[in-house]
Amino acid sequence: MPNISSPNISPQTFIKDFRDLFLKSPQCGSWTRASENCDYGDITTVSKDCYMCFNSGNCRNAYYCEDSRAMTDSTDCAFCENCELVYECVDCDGCYDCNFCQDCHNCRNVQFAYDLRRCTDCVGCVGLRDKQFCIFNEQYTKENYEEALQKLDITDTKILEKISEQLEELKRKTPRMFVHQFDTTNCTGDYIYHSKNCHMCFDTRHTEDSGYINQANLDMGTKDSYDCGPIPTGMDLCYDAAYSHYLFNCKFIYWCGNLKDSEYCTNCFESEHLFGCHYLQHKRDGFYILNQKVEEEFYWKMIAEIKAELKKEGIFTIHDLLFKDLEKNEKTLSENEQVRSCAICSENFELTKNEIEFYKKHEITFPIYCPFCRADQRIHLRNERKMYKRICDSCKKSLISTYEPDSKFIVHCLDCYWKHMG
Ligand SMILES: [Zn+2]
Ligand SMILES: [Zn+2]
């Protein structure tokens, strides 16, 4: 039982204690949920017979697909959805039997194309709508098209080079939309859909009144949040959260789900009022700091003291708290410095009015890193997309994991990961 009367918590040792606890808590060696024969890859959900797919779901026979959904019999794709028999495609949706395409939607039998909609049987085309039998944007008859296609042997590297050259030229000559947005109001960023009042968001849907949200394929949407993603589901009132789902009023979160009113957590699920916790679930019965149950009054007093200490030590993100070299003391920027120089890349960045309001409302220290470095930090909370054979540190069964066999972390298979959670 947690000892409520004399918790062993001090602001001065919080960073070390948090890191020690992280090292002692198991990490999930391979997150392939509700999937079959998808051992090589990570964050693959509801999929079957996939190989080296990452951050992808609802796929069948997909190979080397990243950040994609509902892919069937497809290889080497990124940011694609609902495609079948596609190869080397990026940002395509609803395509069938297409190769080397980018930004194509609802196309069939299309190769080497950019920005086509509802086209079939086209090669080397750019910016076409509802067309058939076109080569380099020129209309052919069905017979001429088939004849010309026979001469385009794409296994011949010389022909392939020529196609690429011509396609690039056509891309330069064809006007394109300045941004990829659909059903948006007052948004800056790219690949934003069904959203409003978003500042510098990318690959994001159903987002409102938020900024710097990346790779948020949200089914439930996001509101009033900054600096979050990748996030698969939804969140409200969040800051600096990555690889997590369904968060409400949470900050500095990595790899958590269904959390409320929590800060600085990893591997925590179905809980609320956690601060600096790892590897806990179903904690809705009180207040927790460093996995110890504490009195409510102690909780609020202590987290205020810890936050002051974190600010003093230059901890601005969950990545900082886990990995920052504390010897390397960075300058602290004053709150009223609106044009700021990033402490990582030295580029200047500016805080928007809405952003400042958000930080003030949530009592978050104004960032010293630019939005790009902040997004980069969140991506680097996870391992590189490389796979290793290793064993589960609990049940000893063999695993294919992004954790190396000699990783400093305790690594569990998915079953053991859930079984032993506190
Ligand atoms: Zn930067
Ligand atoms: Zn195991």
Distance 147 CA to ligand 1 centre (A): 53
Distance 52 CA to ligand 2 centre (A): 21
Distance 290 CA to ligand 2 centre (A): 25
pLDDT, one tens digit per residue, over 378-413 is 999 989 989 999 999 999 999 999 999 999 999 999
pLDDT at 331: 63
Closest ligand by atom to 368 CA: 1
Q: How far apart are CA 99 and CA 93, in angstroms?
A: 13
Distance 298 CA to ligand 1 centre (A): 37
Identify the burial level of 59 via C-beta atoms within 10 angstroms of its C-beta, where 0-12 means exposed, 13-18 middle and 19 or more buried. Answer: buried
Distance 214 CA to ligand 1 centre (A): 16
- 151: helix, coil or strand? helix
pLDDT, one tens digit per residue, over 131-162 is 999 999 999 999 999 999 988 887 888 988 99
pLDDT at 332: 65
Report which of 39, 40, 57, 27 is spatially closest to residue 233, judged by C-alpha positions: 57
Q: How far apart are CA 57 and CA 34, in angstroms?
A: 10
Largest CA distance in the chain: 85
Closest ligand by atom to 349 CA: 1
Distance 341 CA to ligand 1 centre (A): 8
What are the b/e assignments for 210-248, b being 16+ CB within 10 Å? bbbbbbbbbeebbbbbbbbbbbbbbbbbbbbbbbbbbbe
Q: How far apart are CA 239 and CA 224, in angstroms?
A: 9
Residue 232: DSSP 8-state: S
pLDDT, one tens digit per residue, over 7-21 is 789 999 999 999 999
Q: How far is CA 311 from CA 13, 250, 354, 380, in A?
A: 14, 18, 22, 22
Mean pLDDT (whole number) for 169-192: 94
On the question of pLDDT at 328 being above 80, the answer is no
How would residue 330 be classed by pLDDT, with cut points 50, 70 and 90? low
Mean pLDDT (whole number) for 254-278: 97
pLDDT at 220: 76
Distance 39 CA to ligand 2 centre (A): 14
pLDDT at 336: 72
Closest ligand by atom to 29 CA: 2
Closest ligand by atom to 346 CA: 1
Percent over 70 (pLDDT), the chain? 97
How would residue 33 be classed by pLDDT, with cut points 50, 70 and 90? confident
Report which of 291, 321, 401, 268 is spatially closest to residue 411, judged by C-alpha positions: 401
The sign of the dihedral angle between the CA atoms of 309, 212, 261, 255 is negative
DSSP-assigned states of every residue in 48-106 = BS-BSEEEEES-EEEEEEES-EEEEEEEEEES-EEEEEEEEEES-BS-EEEEEEES-BS
On whether the CB atoms of residues 400 and 15 are closer than 8 A, the answer is no
Q: How far apart are CA 40 and CA 84, in angstroms?
A: 21
Average pLDDT score, the chain: 93
Distance 32 CA to ligand 2 centre (A): 13
Distance 29 CA to ligand 2 centre (A): 9
Q: How far apart are CA 267 and CA 200, in angstroms?
A: 28
pLDDT at 1: 46
On the question of pLDDT at 168 being above 90, the answer is yes
On whether the CB atoms of residues 99 and 90 are closer than 8 A, the answer is no
Distance 316 CA to ligand 1 centre (A): 13
Q: How many helices (H) and strands (E) does the chain have?
A: 8, 29
On whether the CB atoms of residues 289 and 299 are closer than 8 A, the answer is yes
Distance 307 CA to ligand 2 centre (A): 36
pLDDT, one tens digit per residue, over 191-209 is 999 999 999 999 999 999 9
pLDDT at 375: 94
Closest ligand by atom to 30 CA: 2
pLDDT at 326: 85
Distance 314 CA to ligand 1 centre (A): 16
Distance 50 CA to ligand 2 centre (A): 21
pLDDT at 146: 94
On the question of pLDDT at 317 being above 80, the answer is yes
Distance 349 CA to ligand 1 centre (A): 8
pLDDT, one tens digit per residue, over 194-250 is 999 999 999 999 999 999 999 987 677 899 999 999 988 889 999 999 999 999 999
pLDDT at 90: 97
Closest ligand by atom to 412 CA: 2
Distance 21 CA to ligand 2 centre (A): 20
Q: How far is CA 255 from CA 103, 220, 244, 263, in A?
A: 30, 18, 5, 12
How would residue 6 be classed by pLDDT, with cut points 50, 70 and 90? low
